[in-house]
Every structure is written in structure tokens, then in C-alpha cells.
Chains A and B, each alone.
Chain A
Amino acid sequence: MKRLRIADLASRSAGLLVIALLLGGCVNATVDEMTYNEPVAGIGESSVVILGRRHAPDYDTEFDFIECIGDHIHRGDPSIEVINEIAFINQFYPWFEPRTAPMQPQTIDRLLQLPPVADRFAEMKLEYMIWIDGNTVDTESTGSMSCGIGPGVAGCFGFGTWGTESEYEATIWDFTDKVEVGRVSAVASGQSYMPAVVVPIPIIAPVQGTACDSLGDQLLEYLSAHH
């Protein structure tokens, strides 16, 4: 009788696992783009910096997301030099801290009145400054899971699921003309699952990664002459 129950429970859990595997990992992404003055011949030997906005009270654009976008662009076109965000912020301290970072491209002129700042920008041959604003959050979660431990045995049974949403907007500033030349936004959402039959099996939807790829593709298309 007991064996039957265990077999029944195991088969139900296996069924849930199959359903989860079929549904899991699905991510929906939407990308909007509005750009001007595309550099049709590419950016040559100039460089690009990608910076995250961190002035909002309730969220910060993640450093690893900015790094992901930079890596995506550089991988797609190795001729594009993407300056590391943290190195850039440190080199220009304190002018790109959340309190002091320029919010409009026109205000860069004020920064350039400082000779050391102007000199460093000239050294970098910076052509585009791309600001990314947004974040990834987990939304509603449902399900339950219980874990137990006893002499010689431990395990979990149950099922949990949660949603994840990413929303990012990239604003491209032409550093030479000090104007905004485009905005690209990416919204991605997905559902992750965690069935547990003795061992929990996380089936994570790569929501942030999809948003990174989507945004990175659009920015690469804008900046690169080969895409």
C-alpha cells in the first residue's frame, strides 16, 4: 500500500516535471527601436562606453547587465572598443556618480569646461555614450515545497513557479555633437519552475539574458558597419 502511494506520487511528480520541461525556459521579448544618424561606416577607431543609470530610489541598473551588453557588442564586432563601465566611472570620479551623472547630452559641455575631464575624453576618443536604465525583477510566485531530513534520508517534494520581468531602455548619445541619436528598449518576461521530487530541479527562464541579447543586437546593428 505504501509502495503504491510512493509510486503514485513519483509518477505525478514526473508528469509535473515533463510539463515543466515543456513549458520552462520560455521567454517573450519585445524590442522597440528609434535611432537617427546611424554611423553607416561604423565608428572606426573611436570607442563606446555603456553606463547604467543608478539614481532611482528603488532600483539600480545591474553592473553585470551592462557588462553583458558590452560583451555582446564586442563579440559581435571586435573592432568596436567598449570601455569598461567601472573603469570609466573611476577614471572620471566624481562626475559620473549617481548624484552627478549628466542627465542630458547638452550638459556634457559643462563637464568639458574642466580641462582634466576634457583631456581624458580626448584620450579615449569617445564617440558614443550609451545609458541603460532598467532592471530585472521577480514577480508573482506560487506553489509550495516542503523539505525534510531524517536519519539517512533527506529530500524535497512540491512544485514552485515564479515570473521574471526585465525592462531596459538604452539611450544613445552622440558624444561629438552632444545630441541624443536614438533609443532602444527591450522588455522580456518569462516563467521559471522548480519541481522537486526528492531533488529540486530548477528550470530557470533566462529573462535577463534574453533582454541583454535583444538590446545588444539592436545596439550592435546601430554601431557596427558589418551588421
Chain B
Amino acid sequence: MGVASLASTTSDLEPSVFGRWLLLLCLTLLGAGCGSKQVIVEGNFPSPLLDPLPLTLGVIYPSAFAEHEFFDEAKGRAESDWLVKTGAAQVQFWDTLFDGMFASVVHIRDWETVERHRADIDGVLIPAIGELQYTVPTHTNVKIYEIWMRYEFRLVDISAIHQQEDGALTFNPDERLAVWPITAYGKTPTAFLQTDEEAVNLAAVVALRDAGAHFVTTFGATPDIALWLNTIATREQPAGTSSSMPETDSAPPTDTPVAVESAADITTTSLDEREPDERQPANASSANPAPSGETS
């Protein structure tokens, strides 16, 4: 009787268990398009093959740059929320590039560093991400994942860096030596057995590499930079500078003109303290400025 009862129970349970699994499968399939996707961009970045410029460069990565991420909310059931964190990869990539491009690089994180290296540093570079856009095949019906970024690089003299009362570093935008935009583009086709996250990561890595290539090939050709390099060269003869950057014959993508003149945020505000709109939505219009910060 007990056996029969058990068999009966088992028999009753089987369709129920199967039904639950089927329900779970259906729910998974229904919810597949409306989940949340997160990518922390990772990659291995090569050192540039260059003779380093004989300069000591100070570098400040503003918190909005070093912790950069963008968030795009799904606009329909077929789409997913996207959170792409590029900050760590940005710092890793630009560190590698600057270390290979300049004879000496000083990371400026506090006022002590400014004071200690004031006499050595030829200029301080402050990168910022002005805009970032991405597309995935669900947006465009084209089987390509793309990321486009516009950076704003600022070069200031070490004397333009000041300390605020709270210890944060800031600079006077009027004292800049140069400000110039760098655009970068990365794409990757959809590939078999490649997830959306892997494809977006790869597109971001390609975009970072492209940003580096653009930076290296235009650095010496930017008028204000050329002027700055000439000033240093005349001050410290002999100096080989921009001659190590040959022009290339491939037409670079058209750059978007930049009209943004806001000061870069070089304070040490934490991510939590930033305004919610600093999480840039993807497909932002070109009017979106760089993450705003303090202007001294």
C-alpha cells in the first residue's frame, strides 16, 4: 500500500515538476530580452612603439574619468538595460600609452605630489570623456556593436593647479596651455558564440586603442601643443619632439567639433557624491557636455 501510495505520489508529482520547469523556461525566454546587462571593460593593452618624448608629464585622472560608466535604460521589452563601466580600463590604457609616449609620467593625486614635482613637470594632462555613444544590433538591426567616444584633453601648466580648502585639486581654465578633442571609434561584428557583453567589451577595447592611435598621431600636430613643445625645445636644447609622429595616409574618421569649454572635474569627489545624470545615457545627443565639475 505504501509502495502504491508512493508510486501514486510520484506519478502526481512528475507533471507538476515538469510543468514548473516548463513555466520557468517560458518565463526565462520571455524575460530574456528585458534583463539588465553589465560590462566591466577589460583588455590587455600594448605599449606604443615610440621613442618617448623627452618630457615629464603630470597626469590627473578626474574621478568622473577614472570611474567612468554609462547607463542606458531599456526603451522597450525587447531591449535590456545596459551598464558599461569603462573607468578602470581607461586608466589602465592611458597609463600604458603615456608611459610609452613620455620619458617620465607623474600621477598627480594630491597637493603633496604637486609640490614635490613642481620643478620637474613640463605640463599636466587632464583627460575627460565628453560623450559616449553605443549601438547594439537590437538598436539598429545591423549586426555590429559600436562604441564612439569623444575625449577632451586639457594641458595646463603645473602653476595652474591649485588646492581648495577641502584639499581637492582644481585649476583655472583660463590658464590652460591647450585643449583639444580626440574621437575614438570601435566596432565588432556579431560573432558566433559571442555574447552581447563580450561584443560590447571588445568594441570598447577597440575604441580605446583607436583613441590611443588618434592621440599619438595628432599630439604634435595640435597647434597649441606644437607651440608648447617648441617652447620647451627652445628652453632645453636639443630636444626631439613631434618629429617622431609620422602622418598616416589613411583618412581618419571625421571629428565632431567641440564647443564645450567647461572645466574638467579634477576634484576627488567619490562616485556616490556625483549627480545621477553623470551616468551618461547612451545615444546621448552631441550637445551633452563633459561631466561637469568645479570651476575655479
Chain A residues near B (Cβ < 8 Å): 55, 58-60, 62, 90-95, 97-104, 107, 110-111, 113-117, 120, 149, 151-152
B247 — nearest CB in chain A belongs to which residue? Answer: A110
Whether B189 contacts A94 by the Cβ 8 Å rule is no
Q: A94-B212, A99-B250 are contacts. A60–B189 as well, Cβ < 8 Å? A: yes
Residues of B contacting A114 with CB < 8 Å? 49-51, 244, 246
Residues B247-276 near A (CB distance < 8 A): 247-250, 252-253
Assess whether B50 is in contact with A97, with CB atoms less than 8 Å apart. no
Q: Which among A59, A90, A97 is the interface contact of B189 at CB below 8 angstroms?
A: A59
Cα distance, A41 to B296, chains bound together (Å): 70
Please judge, given known A-B contacts A94-B209, A94-B212, A97-B209, whether A102 and B144 are in contact too, CB under 8 Å. Answer: no
Nearest chain B CB to A61's CB is how many angstroms away?
Answer: 10
Q: Which residue of B lies closest to A98 (CB)?
A: B210
List, in ascending order, chain B residues with CB within 8 A of A103's CB: 249-250
Question: Is B213 interfacial (CB 8 A cutoff)?
Answer: yes
B216 within 8 A of A: yes
- In the assembled complex, how far is the CB of residue A159 from the closest CB belonging to chain B, in whole angstroms? 22
Q: B residues within 8 A CB of A60? A: 187-189
- Residues of B participating in the A interface, judged by any CB pair closer than 8 Å: 15, 18-19, 22, 46-51, 142, 144, 187-189, 209-210, 212-214, 216-217, 244, 246-250, 252-253
| 21 A-B residue pairings within 8 Å (CB atoms) | A62-B189, A91-B49, A93-B48, A93-B209, A93-B212, A95-B248, A97-B209, A99-B250, A99-B253, A102-B248, A103-B249, A104-B249, A110-B246, A110-B247, A114-B49, A114-B246, A115-B51, A120-B49, A149-B22, A151-B18, A151-B19
Closest residue on chain B to residue A138 by CB atoms: B143
Q: How far is the CB of B103 from the nearest CB of chain A, in Å?
A: 14
Chain A residues contacting B210 (CB-CB under 8 Å) are 97-99
Closest chain B residue to A87, Cβ basis: B46
Inter-subunit contact A91/B46 (CB<8 Å): yes
Bound Cα distance A58, B213 (Å) = 21
Q: Does B249 contact A97, Cβ atoms closer than 8 Å?
A: no
Instruction: Give bound CA distance, A101 to B217, whole Å.
Output: 12
A102–B249 Cα distance when bound, in Å, is 6
What B residues does A110 contact at CB under 8 A? 246-248
Contact in complex: B250, A100 (CB < 8 Å): yes
Contact B246 A94, beta carbon cutoff 8 Å: no
The 6 nearest A-B residue pairs measured at CB: A94-B213, A90-B46, A93-B46, A97-B213, A110-B246, A100-B248
Additional 14 contacts, C-beta under 8 A, given A90-B46, A93-B212, A99-B252: A60-B187, A62-B189, A93-B209, A94-B48, A94-B49, A94-B213, A94-B216, A102-B249, A102-B250, A110-B248, A114-B246, A115-B51, A116-B51, A151-B19
Nearest A residue to B142 via CB reads A58
Nearest-CB distance from B54 to chain A (Å)? 14
Nearest Cβ on chain B to A129's Cβ, whole angstroms:
15
Docked CA distance A91–B217 (Å): 17
- Set of chain A residues within 8 Å of B142, measured between Cβ atoms: 58
Contact of A95 with B49 at beta-carbon distance under 8 Å, contacts A59-B189, A100-B250, A103-B249 already known: yes
Residues of B within 8 A of A115 (CB): 51
CB-based nearest B residue for A149: B22
Query: Is the pair B248, A113 in contact by a Cβ cutoff of 8 Å?
Result: no
Q: Output the least CB separation between A137 and chain B (Å).
A: 9
CB nearest neighbor in B for A92: B49
Least distance between B205 CB and chain A CB atoms (Å): 12
A192 to chain B, nearest CB (A): 14
* Residues on the B chain within 8 Å of A149, using CB: 22
